[in-house]
Structure 1
Amino acid sequence: MKLSMMRGVFFRTSCLRVLAVALAAGLHLVFSPAFALGGGEQRAAASAAAAVPAKAGFFFDDFNYPDLAALKAGGWTPRSAAGHPGVPGAAWSPEQISLVADPQQAGKRLLRLTAQTDGTPAGTQQTQLCHARKYLEGTYAARIRFNDQPLRGVDGDPVIQTFYVVAPLKHDFDPEFSELDFEYLANGGWGSEKTRLYGITWQTVKLDPWQAFNQSHEEHGSLDGWHVLMMQIADGKTRLFLDGRQLAQHGGRNYPVVPMSINFNLWFSPGGLLPASSEPRVYQQDVDWVFHARQQVLSPAQVQAEVERLRAGGVARVDTVPAAEPALASHCDF
């Protein structure tokens, strides 16, 4: 047999073995475009992927999808439903979600959320993306790029850039309501002009008139650029981390009690919009990756190691987190 034919047989056999191991373990793997390379690169990618063991209870997404249809097939739901939070009468626009090339990593894509306002409810478009409602205790993390200034238009609108997990609020003061947030206010808002990051854990809330029961931490100062946000939920306590540094520990009645969905959204505070103008103010938030380890408390270093391990193996997405029992509808509307 010719050497080139032997190489082809070896590569196909390696691929089949990798897929067989993954399927036998119930692991949903999506390999990055590097897995479609040729020659020695094919063998290197196959070998690296084969070295990635199937771990139960992990969710990881590198957002390396070819298009938005593939993003939705990966379990993500863009929001179109009107309502809280944000500017009353504003639209939640799925068209404001995109996948863009990462200028810092060849062959890599980023998730991009875009929101804009001209100062009026009708001229305001907000953005939200949600994953299945099946997450509760464990470790959550995401690498996000915050922006202090708009892509276009004058600066100053109270824009909110987020990463959070949430369960529906069925009624005022719902005792099963569960939510943990990271919310970055680049231009201030909510009674203060200070630039700050909020870390919030919720007990319950009444939306109108507003009455909230929660714990919060404020981290003041600009976070323009890339950051890793992390939450640990275990043993009746929640811990919030920024770039590997613990910011706060909450607990008690603010501890989540029902499965939640993973969310990103970009919206405007209902108070404090700049005056109406002919040129809209456009803001963006990028997401590099998101990670969850079910019922496991991982340190920031351990999370980073897992992300690097998966990426080195050419794995762009993995989901071995079981559905809630009974299964829960995942409405992207809060």
Structure 2
Amino acid sequence: MLTNKILIKTQVSLLVAGTLGICANAPAANAKTPQVMFDDFSYRKFEDAQENGWQIREEVGHPGIKNATWWKEGITFHPDPLNQSNTVMRITSKTDGTAENTRHTQICHNRKYKEGTYAARVYFNDAPQYGPDGDAVIQTFYAISPLKAPMDKNYSEMDFEYLPNGGWGTERLALFATSWETFQLTPWTKVNAYDYHIESLQGWNTLVLQVADNTLKYYVNGHLFAKHGADVYPEVPMSINFNQWFDPNKLVQSTHMRQYYQDVDWVYFAKDQVIEPTTVVQAVEQLRKQKVAQRDTVPDWKPKQPDYCSL
């Protein structure tokens, strides 16, 4: 059960339930085949994923430890430890507390996503693979656009962020859902709405975000735990991202290297469709039964947006 959350902003809006990406109240004769991006990450090397629109961040900069490296080698593909017949994408990051030896990791898909249903199955870890525990590491699934200028109103970002060692005002582990209107780095100023849910999510979790009718609904494992409104609703197309980074404000006082990872089993997006979490899982299961490892029928944004994998 989802308990112990703190609601910062809420706005109620009517959403229409969907079935396999088709609105439940739409006449069957008018139903359209959903435009979908699906990837189950059945790759052997990143170059294979790159052919399907994925790119890795290499640009130094915010967020995380200042001047740290964004690490191409942090993206790998492995058999699922719990199901050797399944392949997952692994996102690995490490630090000894210094910028020189910190490796953040981020992977991004084309900037063409706005309204619809976003989903991913993600494995979160509460402890490092090795080294001392306690760093504020952030494990994520999110969508984002470039910030063209400080406090730019035409900015969009929607985040699932898991902090297994706490941070951002809580000493306990938490999953944050944050929707952004805008921000600036210096001096730090933000306009957003957020909720957080305090509970260990060690292991596999299904994350679903519905974006429609000026409302954003965040679900974890089928439970609604955050709802945000028109004041933080996206205005521009975004890229889909996963990353893992360290908050410099909460690091273990140790020079020993420590390494964390999160795994991603699959990612799914249905354009302009509101789909319930159970139906998303059914749609993914159906794609896998059909031996579909990757499908992308979501058209490029018009005008086409340049690739974006930063911030």
TM-score (norm 2): 0.88
User: What letter is aligned with 2:37?
Assistant: F
Higher helix fraction: Structure 1 or Structure 2? 1
Aligned equivalent of 2:273, options 279, 282, 296: 296
Tell me, yes or no, if structure 1 residue 73 matches structure 2 residue 51.
yes
SS of 2:160 mapped into structure 1: strand
Q: Secondary structure at the match of 1:132?
A: strand
Q: In structure 1, what is the equivalent of residue 162 of structure 2?
A: 184
CA distance in 1, matches of 2:181, 2:120: 23
1:329 pairs with 2:309: no
User: Match of 2:65?
Assistant: 87
For residue 258 of structure 1, report the CA deviation from its aligned partner. Answer: 0.5
Are the equivalent residues in 2 in contact too, given 1:61–1:318 (CA < 8 A)? yes
Task: State the 1:191 CA deviation.
Answer: 3.0
**Helix, strand or coil: the match of 1:230?**
strand
CA contact (8 A) 1:87 1:268 kept: yes
AA at the equivalent of 1:193: E
Counterpart of 1:115 in structure 2 is 93
Q: Which amino acid in structure 2 is aligned with residue 301 of structure 1?
A: T
Distance in 2 separating the partners of 1:105 and 1:139:
27
Out of 154, 157, 165, the position equivalent to 2:132 is: 154
Aligned counterpart for 2:206 among listed residues 228, 232, 253: 228
For the pair 1:249 / 2:227, whether they are aligned, the reply is yes
Cα distance in 2 between the residues matched to 1:183 and 1:66: 27
Distance across 2 between alignment mates of 1:210 and 1:71:
35
Match of 1:131 among 109, 115, 125: 109
Please state whether the residue corresponding to 1:63 is helix, strand or coil.
coil
C-alpha offsets along residues 142-186 of structure 1, whole Å, 9 cap, x if unaligned? 000000000010100110000000011111000011000000110
Q: Which runs of structure 2 are paired with 1:1-334 in the superposition (5 Å)?
A: 55-277=33-255, 279-334=256-311
Shift of 1:221: 1.7
1: CA distance, partners of 2:308 / 2:278: 33
Q: Which has the larger radius of gyration?
A: 1
Partner of 2:83, secondary structure, is coil
2:116, 2:155 → 1: CA distance? Answer: 18
Structure 2: any 5+ residue segments left out of the alignment?
A: 1-31
SS in 2 for 1:274: coil
Residues 55 and 320 in structure 1, CA contact (< 8 A), matched pair in contact too: no
CA offset digits 1:214-262 (Å, max 9, x no partner): 1001101211111001100001111010101111211122000110000
Give 1:293's aligned amino acid. A
Q: TM-score when scaled to structure 1?
A: 0.82
| Aligned partner letter, 1:309 | Q
In structure 2, C-alpha distance between the alignment counterparts of 1:191 and 1:104, rounded to whole Å? 34
Distance 2:137 2:193 in 1: 21
SS at match of 1:290: strand
Moved more, 183-192 or 74-83: 183-192
Secondary structure at 2:148's aligned position in 1? coil
What one-letter code is carried by the residue in structure 1 that aligns with 2:81? P
CA distance in 2, matches of 1:223, 1:66: 27
Aligned residues: 280
For structure 1, which runs of at least 5 residues remain unmatched after alignment?
1-53
Cα shift at 1:106: 3.9
Question: Cα deviations across residues 249-282 of structure 1 (Å, max 9, x unaligned)?
Answer: 11122000110000000000121211241x3110
Distance in 1 between residues matched to 2:189 and 2:81, nearest whole Å:
43
| Displacement after TM superposition at 1:56 (Å) | 4.0
Q: CA deviation at 1:88?
A: 0.5
SS of match in other structure, 2:288: helix
Normalized per residue, the structure richer in strand is 2
Partner residue, 1:10 = none
